[in-house]
Amino acid sequence: MPKIKKKGQAGQARNYITRTRAVKKLQLSLPDFRKLCIWKGIYPREPRSRKKVSKSATASTTFYYTKDIQYLLHEPLLQKFRDQKVLEKKISRALGRGDVNDASRLERNAARPDKTGKPRYTLNHVIRERYPTFADALRDLDDCLSMLFLFANLPSTTAVPAKMIARCERLCLEFQHYLIVSNSLRKSFLSIKGIYYQANIQGEDILWLVPYKFNQRVVGDVDFRIMGTFVEFYMTLLGFVNYRLYTSVGLRYPPKFDQLKDDQGAELGAFALEGVNIATNGDVKAITNGEAEHGPDPKVQAEVDKLVQQLRDESDEKAEETEEQAEDAAVEEDKPSDAIDKFEPVAPGGDVLPQPSYSSSDPAQLFSQYTFFLSRETPRQPLEFILRAFGCKRIGWDSVLGEGSFTTDESDPSITHQIVDRPVVQAAVSEEGDGEDNQTAQKIGPNHRYPGRVYVQPQWVWDSINDEEFKSPELYAPGASLPPHLSPFVKPTRGQYDPTIPLEEQQTEGEMIEAQLEEASRMREAEESDVENDMDVASDEDEEDEEDEEEGDFGGFSGEEDEAEGEEDEEESATLQRQRELEAEIAGKSVQAGKKVDAKTKAKLEEKKALERRQRQEAEDLERAKGMLSKKKRKLFEQMQYTNNKKSAEDMKLREKRRKLEKERRA
Amino acid sequence: MAPKITDKKRKAREPESESDDELANGLFDGVLSQSEDEEDYLPSDDDDVDESGSEGSDGSEDEEGEEEDEDDLLSDDIPSDVDGEEEVSKLIRKQGQLKITEPGVDPKPRDDDGEEKNYRVERDANGGERYVYDEIDPVYDSDDSDAQGPVNTIGNIPLSFYDSYPHIGYDINGKKIMRPATGDALQSLLDSIEVPKGWTGLTDVNTGNPLNLTQEELELVRRVQMGLLPNEIEDPYPDTIEYFTSIEEKMPLSSAPEPKRRFLPSKNEAKQVMKLVRAIREGRILPYKPPAEREREEEEQEEVHFDLWQNEEPQAPNPLHIPAPKLPPPGYDLSYNPPEEYLPSKEEREEWENADPEDREKQYLPQKYNALRKVPAWGTLVNERFERCMDLYLAPRVRKNRLNIDPNSLLPKLPSPSELKPFPTVVQTVFRGHEGRVRSVAIDPTGIALATGGDDGTVRVWELLTGRQVWSVKLNSEEPVNAVRWRPAKDSFILAAATGEDVFLMVPAHASVTPALDQTSRDILAVGFGYATNGQQQALPAGKEPPAKWARPGTKLEDEGVLIRITVRSTVKVINWHRRGDHFATVSPTGQRSSVAIHTLSKHLTQIPFRKLSGLAQTAAFHPLRPLFFVATQRTIRCYDLQKLELVKVVQPGAKWISSFDIHPGGDNLIVGSYDKRLLWHDLDLSNRPYKTMRFHGEAIRQVRFHKGGLPLFADASDDGSLQIFHGRVPNDQLENPTIVPVKILKGHKVVSKLGVLDIDWHPKEPWCVSAGADGTARLWM
């Protein structure tokens, strides 16, 4: 007799462990376990068969890999948690005795672990474990940045201490500074949720969301302890990432932080970056808006430019190489370069191998020639960041927007572009408007324009950087209705609706015919209305006819009927035709109008019918072929078909709406 | 050591008490005992020194060493060895008058010290020397606390022994202690009346006097009784007078030179200081700072900045680890200013608003703002981030393989419809005439005539193409005709029909039937009668009923052309001819043992091949080429060899209830229809399980048929009122699998009381088929 196997001793049952058992095994409290899981990146698994895995009678909901939990057993943090627990017990005991002094001493000691040996942890080793290489860390930076930028904009509460917010803000600003210096911001998108940014750092695309600068409402059930655990981890991560990024472009980390400027709302301007090699000369430069207070000092400007140029050279030589290539194409042949050569096929017939290419326009140079001024109704922070990241050196803004601007004087002659987001005020109001506008130092009429300056709405900046070219400013002039702002992250796929392509190029055959038919009917309507004016008597019947016909049309469109019905349809239309002729005779009207319409639409109708027939045929074939599939494959096929149909239905709806809109616009 | 020391101390003090000189020492002792312990030993050490001095003079080396040890251990005030010894000898010289009595040492040798003696030498009665000691004056501080006047030395004996003597004992010098005078009785009475002050009523044992207590003694007793100190002291706990620190003495207490330690810097202190210095240097001791500042500094310290990935080693990704999926990038509809076609219409907006938040496909509605300054904060951003956090740590991750293929690539490559043609597509002729259901149809081997049998008990023969009824006979008025089948040979025109328990064989009248053909047919049927009468068939034992009775049906039917009537034991449902036309098999599912019967036409013989069948027989058929016989029970189809009379094969279609089956004309394939809606294709060479299972019908399948005339077609008839035509090509190559393609669903029959199409038959050559419906019609499809 074979050995009787006990249930739950082998196989899947040993590979999985429920959460309760995991917590028990680690001898932790549930919140500590949660923390540990979040930091170590342990997540539940879905066993193939829940029944086989669960050992208890009641259904367990969360399963972890046993191996994962075993791996947690050796975690140094575990000991810290336990120490913390012990300390908390001590403190609570002291408080229970009424010994406040003792409690505060214990707490104080807890905050100074290196002096007292009391619990305190760092997450350095966890980060190194989870991201063995820097590239791994970059890959996971999306959530990190979104979270930290959100927390940087949260109001401080008991759950979210002000210190945490300040640290998040600093880290975010430091990260932005890196993006500015390295010009690695690629795309940005104004959505209803906030502003999306995409940067490309060391070949890795990173996408994050920054909320608009408003007080964030917290509604519903949000556990800030969980978010806080994540933020703690992310802060450490971004700290290390920032360090690595700064050193990679030859900057010292952390950058110098000017508390005074920050208090005055300078944000990005509160940091002064120092180069590692320049620091040896004792030469400290604030890279961002160093000349802010004094206006453009050419000497300083030149130095700064040189510095930035130098840093950039170090960071990406390749980019620079292409730059040079663009600049002096004539000399290019002589110089040996380590850039990729372009392979041109000599003889036809070979395969084309794709090569990476650098875009012709360097993102670092897009705004470098211009001086911007931000009106006080525009969002300063995102605009400043984007403009700087795309090479702009001189940005001025109204003093109410905070410290650190290039100029607060709107009338500065060096300004080339002004970003405005206010409606155009009527002329009558404008005369009196001067008095009200007393917030700014200089009083200007609301519609006053400085000559030689381009006035645009903020969307112009976003659309320009996304397309890497200057959009025509007329489209974005103040008060103009803006062109739609499109997401730069959508990759156009074949067969999907694309709002940038004209409708005619993407609609299906059936839709096209339908549209043309409608067009024809509309034309006819117009004609008939002319006729109506002449003959009032026949109008009622005419309308009825039309309705009849249309019904017939739709009947034909709507479904896949059998062939027999199709035939009937034809018959029906023939009889209708006869009927119409008869009625026209009775009315004493010539059948010509109808005939004319027929001549126009007949071809279309026939085309439509042919299409329908073809579709029906295809459907039947499909049905037959499906019959030959095994059950499993058939289900798979139907699923795929379902999603495809759903997508195409959505696209069709969009096309329909657009057609309608276009028609309205034309009318 | 300690007890030893105290021992010596005690010993040393004994002589001290004798000299006034030592009184100061004694005083010190008392004072010092209030101060710290270490100092307590100071004077006693001096004593020790004295002692050691005396011993040193005796030259006992051992004790000296021992003492040195003690000194080193006990106090650091001890002078170093050399100094100490000198000092000691000096002291000895100076304090020569010190009198020391030690137990083991005789005091005599000290006589020459020239000291005054406290005894006299007298002559005793024997003339020997006798030492007479002076009276010890028991002063307060004297150690002799026992000396209190004349003390009786009689010891512990009752005083009554001396009652007869005038004395009551002896004092220490041997003198008699005289009994005090006692008054007479009167005196004692008076005494008792006038109690003197301090009277206790007790008698002093030693003196015999009445024990009177003085005022002071009474006071003392009172105080003791009250729990107070025995003698009244003004302040029992006076402040310590620190003689050695606060009172500056004019003269040093000791003339010893200043020890080195007083003016050399202490190594120990230097050590302590260095310890502190090191701690400060290492930052273990911090100068005081206000807590706020300290906190800020700590925070700065908290942010450690170094390159975490200095020596990064790329690791192979853990195959079990599934990275969290990134959030999808925003689409056009999330824009603050989207193209207008993305904005929801009114209905869509309402639908979205009315839907439960969980049912919504998107958690947002596209919105359009005509200026950036009008864009408000997104209300649920924190919640969305929180959801994401929850997903990251709580959502189980499963790797799902998404098939990124064109769904059409899944579809099999089918032969084009033109290759599959011909097959029946439309109804050509409807044969109306039967009352009630048409149970069975059959097309004759020449393909001209159609025979049907129905619930009205008639068998009708029709012109196939025109649908004209040419012949009809009513076989039974009560029971339906269950089956009609033509004899397959073309040299005759014989129809077999089953109604109730009877099987009729007939030669219908038809235009195509020439008199010669008619005659041959009648002859074929008649041959058996001669055979029967010849008596070849007498094997039956008497009393046992034959399996079937062959007889003439009667003149009326014979005139119609019905020539033979075979009566079996139970209702016949199925007739199937052998390909040569000499045998046919009937199946009557209700007949237990005799459910399957094989009839031989030429001999008018009926045989029952199976004594016992497992399960109810449903239908039976002959193999088209070989001498095999197939019988279908509910679950299985058994194949028997007719020559060897043995079971060859059991086919298990897996259906619950087989309704019918048909054998491919090639003989290697089989189709089975079942009441549980399945159509099964068996490759007999391949396996006894089905090769393909087809489930395209919504209701039970009643009949299945292969086309027998060379076209690769087969059809099934179902209760859902439809026929399904399949293309089923069996390749000549044994290795290839048959291709089965569904080609057509023929609908037309109406479903009457849940019955649809009951029977079908194929035309022998053309791709036409005939179906019998429960709606009383038969239809020809072509």
pLDDT(A111) > 90: no
Least confident of A9-13, B73-77, B325-329, B456-460: B73-77
User: Would you state the pLDDT for residue A94?
Assistant: 93
The least confident of A456-465, B394-403, B411-420, B604-613 is B411-420
Band (B733; pLDDT cuts 50, 70, 90) = confident
Superfamily of segment(s) A363-425+448-490:
BRCT domain (3.40.50.10190)
Residue B93 and residue B146 in one domain: no
Sequence-ordered strand ranges (E) for B182-254: 199-203, 210-212
Q: Any bridge partners for residue A396, and if so which?
A: A373
Q: Residue B90: what pLDDT?
A: 52
Residues B509 and B623 placed together within one structural domain of the fold: yes
pLDDT over 50 (residue A40): yes
- A260: tokens are 């005074």
Confidence of residue A334 (pLDDT cuts 50, 70, 90): very low
> Residue A299: is it exposed, middle or buried by C-beta count within 10 angstroms (0-12/13-18/19+)?
exposed
Residues of B in contact with A190 (CB under 8 A): 335-337, 372, 375
Is residue A35 classed exposed, middle or buried when 0-12, 13-18 and 19+ CB atoms within 10 A define those classes? buried
Other Cβ atoms closer than 10 A to B303: 14
Mean pLDDT value across residues A217-245: 91
Q: Which of residues 183-242 of B touch A (CB under 8 A)?
A: none
Calculate mean pLDDT across residues A244-256: 91
Alpha carbon of A243: minimum distance to chain B alpha carbons (Å):
7
Residue B702, classed as helix, strand or coil, is strand
Pairing of β B739-747 and β B757-762: unpaired
Q: Which of A139, A190, A489 sits opposite B336 (nearest CB)?
A: A190
Q: If pLDDT is split at 50, 70 and 90, which confidence band does A630 have?
A: confident
pTM: 0.56
One domain for residues B617 and B647: yes
Q: Is the pLDDT reported for residue A332 higher than 80?
A: no
Where is average pLDDT lowest: A156-165, A351-360, A475-484? Answer: A351-360
Predicted confidence band at B268 (pLDDT cuts at 50, 70, 90)?
A: very high
Between positions 239 and 258 of A, the ones with CB within 8 A of B are 239-240, 243-244, 247, 253-254
User: Has residue A295 got a pLDDT over 80?
Assistant: no
The verdict on a CB contact (< 8 Å) between A379 and B372 is yes
d(CA B80, CA B101): 28
Average pLDDT over residues A252-258: 89
Calpha distance B504→A280 (Å, rounded): 121
Which residues in chain A are contacts of B305 at CB distance < 8 A? 239, 243, 253-254
What are residue B442's phi and psi, to 5 degrees?
Answer: -155, 140
B156 compared with A278, residue with greater pLDDT: B156
The CATH number of residue B506's host domain is 2.130.10.10
H or E element that contains A331: helix A329-332
The two counts, helices (H) then strands (E), for chain B are 14, 35
Q: Is residue B47 part of a domain?
A: yes
Domain count, chain B: 3
Query: Quick one: pLDDT at residue A254?
Result: 87
- Summarize the confidence of residues A423-444 as an average pLDDT: 50
Residues B96 and B153 in one domain: no
3-state helix/strand/coil string of B468-492: CEEEEEECCCCCCEEEEEECCCCCC
User: In this predicted structure, which of A453-467, B137-151, B230-244, B511-525 has the lowest mean pLDDT?
Assistant: B137-151
Of A294 and A482, the structure prediction assigns the larger pLDDT to A482
- For the ranges B14-28, B695-709, B719-733, the lowest mean pLDDT is seen at B14-28
The confidence score (pLDDT) of residue A491 equals: 86
In a domain, B612, yes or no: yes
Q: What is the pLDDT of residues B22-50, one digit of tens each?
A: 444 444 444 444 444 444 444 444 444 44
- For residue B564, tell me if it sits in a domain: yes
Both tokens assigned to A347: 């003889």
Say whether both B84 and B194 belong to one domain.
Answer: no
Residues of A in contact with B372 (CB under 8 A): 190, 378-379, 421, 457-459
Cβ neighbours for A235, distance < 8 A, ≥ 6 positions apart: A148, A164, A167, A168, A171
Q: How confident is the model at residue B747 (pLDDT cuts 50, 70, 90)?
A: confident
- pLDDT value at B688 more than 50: yes
Residue B332, pLDDT > 80, answer yes
| Residue type at position A562 | D
Burial A407-430 (b: 16+ CB within 10 A, else e): bbbbebeebebbbbbbeeeeeeee
- Quick check: B618 pLDDT over 80? yes
Q: Where are the alpha helices (DSSP H) in B184-318?
A: 185-193, 215-226, 267-282, 291-302
| Phi, psi torsion values for B433, nearest 5 degrees | 160, -35
Over 90: is that where the pLDDT of A180 sits? yes
Q: How far is CA A262 from the centre of its chain?
A: 29
B150 pLDDT band, cuts 50/70/90, is low
Q: How far apart are CA B53 and CA B98, in angstroms?
A: 12
Which residues contact residue B279 at a Cβ distance below 8 angstroms, ignoring those fewer than 6 apart? B285
Taking 80 as the threshold, does the pLDDT of residue A109 lie above it? no
Task: Report the pLDDT value the prediction gives residue A145, as an integer from 0 to 100.
Answer: 96
pLDDT beyond 70 at B395? yes
Residue of A65, A216, A661 lying closest to B382 (CB–CB): A216
B59 and B20: one domain? yes
Kindly give the pairing relationship between strand B739-747 and strand B176-178.
unpaired
CA A159 vs CA A154, B388, B630: distances in Å:
11, 19, 83
Select the highest-mean-pLDDT range: A473-477, A529-533, A590-594, B695-699: A473-477
Which tokens go with B103? 């137990």
pLDDT at A132 > cutoff 60: yes
Geometric angle at alpha carbon B16, from B14 and B17, rounded to 5°: 75
- Dig out the tokens for A632 from the structure: 């499993």
pLDDT over threshold 60, residue B217: yes
Of A112, A244, A377, the CB nearest to B309: A244
Q: How many CB atoms lie within 10 A of CB A254?
A: 18
Q: Which of B46, B71, B106 is the last residue of a domain?
A: B106
**Which DSSP string do the residues of A231-298 spell out, in sequence order?**
HHHHHHHHHHHHHHHHHHTTB-SSPEE-HHHHHTT-GGGGEE--BTTTGGGT-----TTTTTTT---H
Residue B415 lies inside a defined structural domain of this protein? no
pLDDT mean across residues, chain A: 78
Percentage of chain B surpassing pLDDT 70? 79
DSSP SS3 for B771: strand
| Whether the predicted pLDDT of A304 surpasses 90 | no
| Nearest beta carbon to residue B407 from set A127, A196, A637 | A637
Flag whether B386 is in a domain. Answer: no
Rounded CA gap, B694 and B713, in Å? 15
CB B673 within 8 A of CB B702: yes
Q: Which of residues 342-361 of B touch A (CB under 8 A)?
A: 342, 345
Q: Identify the pLDDT of residue A38.
A: 94
Query: A529 by DSSP, 3-state: which?
Result: helix
3-class secondary-structure state, position A418: strand
DSSP string across A597-608: HHHHHHHHHHHH
Q: Are residues B19 and B127 in the same domain?
A: no
What is the distance between the alpha carbons of residues A643 and A635, in angstroms, rounded to a whole number? 13
Buried b (16+ CB within 10 A) or exposed e, A449-473: eeeeebbbbbbbbbbbbbeeebbee
| Domain of residue B683, residue span | 423-781
Q: In this prediction, what percent of chain A has a pLDDT beyond 70?
A: 72
Model pLDDT, residue A546: 42
What mean pLDDT is predicted for residues B209-233? 84
Burial of A244 (0-12, 13-18, 19+ CB in 10 A): buried
Predicted pLDDT at A598: 65
In-domain check, residue B140 = yes
Distances (CA, A) of B779 to A378, B13, B326, B340, B771: 82, 150, 63, 59, 5
Q: Torsion-angle region of residue A382: left (phi > 0), alpha (psi -120 to 50) or beta? A: alpha
pLDDT at B98: 42
Q: Which of B307, B324, B364 sits opposite A192 (nearest CB)?
A: B364
Overall residue count recorded for chain A in this entry? 667
Q: Is residue A316 within 8 Å of residue A205, measured between CB atoms?
A: no
Same domain, B434 and B462: yes
For residue B69, what pLDDT is reported? 44
Helix orientation angle between A592-627 and A539-558, rounded to the nearest 10 degrees? 20
Q: What is the pLDDT of residues A633-667, one digit of tens each?
A: 888 888 888 888 888 888 888 888 888 888 888 87
Structure-derived torsion over alpha carbons of residues A517, A522, A528, A529, reported in degrees to the nearest 10: 170
Residue B38 confidence (pLDDT): 42
Span B655-672, average pLDDT: 90
Mean pLDDT, residues B88-99: 47
- What Cα–Cα distance (Å) separates residue B214 from each residue in A583, B204, B217, B553? 164, 14, 5, 170
**B429 assigned to some structural domain:** yes
* B678/B775 same-domain check: yes
The alpha carbon of residue B313 is apart from the nearest alpha carbon of chain A, in Å, by 6
pLDDT at B382 over 90: yes
- Give A322's pLDDT tier (boundaries 50, 70, 90): very low
Query: Which residues of chain A from 257 to 276 reach within 8 Å of chain B, CB to CB?
Result: none
Q: Where are the domains of chain A?
A: 12-113, 124-248, 363-425+448-490, 503-532+541-557+565-666
Q: Kindly determine whether residue A192 and residue B378, on different chains, have CB atoms separated by under 8 Å.
A: yes
Least confident of A43-47, B73-77, B317-321, B603-607: B73-77
Higher per-residue pLDDT: B22 or B488:
B488
In this prediction, residue B498 carries a pLDDT of 92
Chain B, nearest residue to A207 by Cα: B329
B755-776: per-residue pLDDT in tens?
A: 999 999 999 888 899 999 999 8
| Residue numbers in B near A206 (CB within 8 A) | none
What is the number of other CB atoms lying within 10 angstroms of the CB of residue A256? Answer: 12
DSSP B375-409: ----TTHHHHHHHHHHHHHHSPB-------S-GGG
DSSP letter string over B314-330?
Answer: --PPPTT--PPPPPPPP
The SS3 call for residue A388 is helix
Over the stretch A472-491, which tens digit does the pLDDT of each residue have? 998 999 888 899 999 999 98
Rounded to an integer, the average pLDDT of B484-499 is 89
Cβ pair A154:B306 closer than 8 A: no
Q: What is the CA radius of gyration of chain B?
A: 72
- Do B753 and B671 share a structural domain? yes
* Per-residue pLDDT reduced to its tens digit, A493-545: 877 888 888 888 877 777 778 877 777 777 777 666 655 454 444 444 444 44
Residue numbers of B between 758 and 777 with CB closer than 8 Å to A: none
What confidence tens digit (pLDDT) does each residue in A13-37 have?
Answer: 889 999 999 999 999 999 999 999 9
Residue, of A413 and A293, whose pLDDT is higher: A413
Separation of alpha carbons B377 and A193, rounded Å:
7
Q: Is the pLDDT of residue A556 over 50?
A: no
Distances (CA, A) of B457 to A277, B464, B475, B479: 113, 21, 6, 6
Q: Note whether B99 and B139 are same-domain residues.
A: no
Stretch (H or E) spanning A647: helix A631-666
Which pLDDT value is given to residue A540? 43
Q: Which residue of B has its CA nearest to A121?
A: B302
Indicate the average pLDDT of chain B. 78
| The predicted structure's pLDDT at residue B408 | 74
> Residues B460, B588: one domain?
yes
Task: Map residue B582 onto helix, strand or coil.
Answer: coil
